[in-house]
Amino acid sequence: MMKKFVGTTILITSLSYLTACGTSNAIKGTGIGAVAGAAIGAAIGDKPGREKEGAIIGSVIGAGIGGFIGNRIDKQAQELNTIPGVSQVKVEKEEGNEKIDFQMKVLFDFDDASIKPSEHTKLDKFADVLSKYPENIVLIEGHTDDRGEDDYNQTLSEQRAESIKNYLNAKNPSIKLSSVGYGESKPIVPNDTEDGRALNRRVVIKITIDQQRAAELYQNSQ
């Protein structure tokens, strides 16, 4: 049985490190960096009498990097909100991670994994945003509803995720992108209604932060 995606929902998720609820990203990032930096500084201060000094230095450096990452996450979320077709952009503050969620519709023709010309503008703008944040590591996941054969759904999900990856890479080869397909194996709602199936026909994009690259960007900004 052939599959048709009327619309594909894209969920963008950006993750960093340990956070506390109820605080801004920049402030939380500062705390995260301070903890990590203190550990680094303590390791550097390996000579007798230098442990405390190393920990203090590392804490200051780490706090700066953490705040830098938090500010960039906030700015990226604001820029994603300007992309046509994007809705429900929000930064979630959870114990253990920080993420940006938003939805975007990407249309495909029947039984086709090619990017439609009508979708170029929104993906171009998305590529432009990604190009500003080289610390991003982007994973594109393809998903389908449960109509049709499992093997067909699996292949279709892989092809559509790959198409989006290839399109974005063509715009900026330096973006760290990978893709994977899950077929119908990970529905977010039951497939017993057309509305439910429409929600399950989606691509999920997860953006994690390369901490080493972010630290390099921070150092270059000083």
Read off the CATH number of the domain in which 84 is found.
Answer: 3.30.1330.60
- DSSP β-ladder status, 176-181 and 136-143: parallel
What are the pLDDT digits (tens) for 158-201?
Answer: 999 999 999 999 999 988 999 999 999 999 999 999 999 888 88
Who has greater pLDDT, 88 or 176?
176
For residue 9, pLDDT over 70 is answered with: no
For residues 1-20, one letter each, b for 16 or more C-beta atoms within 10 angstroms of the residue's C-beta and e for the rest, the string is eebebeebbbbbbbbbbebe
Q: How high is the pLDDT of residue 27?
A: 47
What is the domain range of residue 210? Answer: 8-221
Task: Provide Rg for the chain, Cα atoms.
Answer: 20
Q: What is the mean pLDDT of residues 104-122?
A: 84
Q: How high is the pLDDT of residue 36?
A: 46
In a domain, 1, yes or no: no
In a domain, 3, yes or no: no
Q: How high is the pLDDT of residue 53?
A: 54
Q: How high is the pLDDT of residue 48?
A: 58
For residue 62, pLDDT over 80 is answered with: no
Q: What is the mean pLDDT of residues 140-148?
A: 89
Q: How confident is the model at residue 50 (pLDDT cuts 50, 70, 90)?
A: low
Mean pLDDT of the chain: 75
d(CA 178, CA 196): 27
Who has greater pLDDT, 64 or 61?
64
Phi, psi of 12 (to 5 degrees): -95, 125
Q: How high is the pLDDT of residue 18?
A: 29
In a domain, 174, yes or no: yes
Structure tokens at 114: 């090619």
For residue 209, pLDDT over 70 is answered with: yes
* Total of domains in the chain: 1
